[in-house]
Amino acid sequence: MHLGKVMGIYMEVLLIDCNTLQELLSLTAIELIEKLESSTLARPIADPEMEREFDIDAGAEILDFLESGELESPEGMLLLARWSAIGEWGAWEGRTFIYIETLLGREVAHVDELYEPEIWLELIENISTFTKKEYSNAVVMDWMQRREKLGESLDEKLDPHILPTMEAHQRNAEGLFHVLQMAKKEGISLLLGREHMPARKWMLDGIKLKDVEN
């Protein structure tokens, strides 16, 4: 059983506006600093169904990084990609097994597989077989079955966390559903990573940032 073993690590998935990222990558560090300090650096319109880092925080991180870092580095590209995001989705890794395995229709053997590009291509393809509500319900049913196999109660009178956890799974599933649908749109890239992962290992459309050509 995957839950618990990797619950403490957070998966992050961002939808990136490709045009914005390319424009940022064409700027020099001096140009970027000038635009940030004058609040004239363009950022794509946020997806109303998603959350993302506040402009002031994302901009401050870039400015701090530029004091000693290089834009062309994976670390610089990751910060620019975050600025170029229209939204982001995240969940504990332990829970993402449920969301991903429900869509794949099979078990994922190891946590590293959660980040394989082929898996995400399959997820994007498979999401069309569900409506948002159908997928959310399927995730909740999967979660309930897993609890039953572990001999854990589904009675909210015995476990007050049952209802909040179920609602969290529903929200996460609906959020991931939206991400996968949006990832099909032209001009939108998928940036995938996890807490504490080095920038070079984050993947943009299945390519590690260390291998992405500016």
44 token code pair: 């794509």
Q: pTM for the whole thing?
A: 0.90
- What does each of the 214 residues of the chain score in pLDDT, given as a tens digit? 344 344 579 999 999 999 999 999 999 999 999 999 999 999 999 999 999 999 999 999 999 999 887 888 999 999 999 999 999 999 999 999 999 999 999 999 999 999 999 999 999 999 999 999 999 999 999 998 887 787 666 656 566 677 888 899 999 999 999 999 999 999 999 999 999 999 999 999 999 999 987 6
The CB density around residue 194, as the number of other CB atoms within 10 Å, is 19
User: What is the pLDDT, as a whole number, of residue 159?
Assistant: 64
Domain boundaries, the chain: 17-90+186-204, 92-182
Backbone angles phi, psi at 190, to 5 degrees: -105, 120
The CB density around residue 148, as the number of other CB atoms within 10 Å, is 11
Q: Helices marked H in the chain — which ranges?
A: 18-25, 29-37, 55-66, 74-83, 93-104, 117-126, 132-149, 162-182
DSSP structural state of residue 130: S
Sign of CA dihedral 64, 68, 71, 77: negative
Residues 49, 200, 11, 177, Cα dihedral to 10°? 40
Candidates 89, 85, 61; CA nearest to 75 is 61
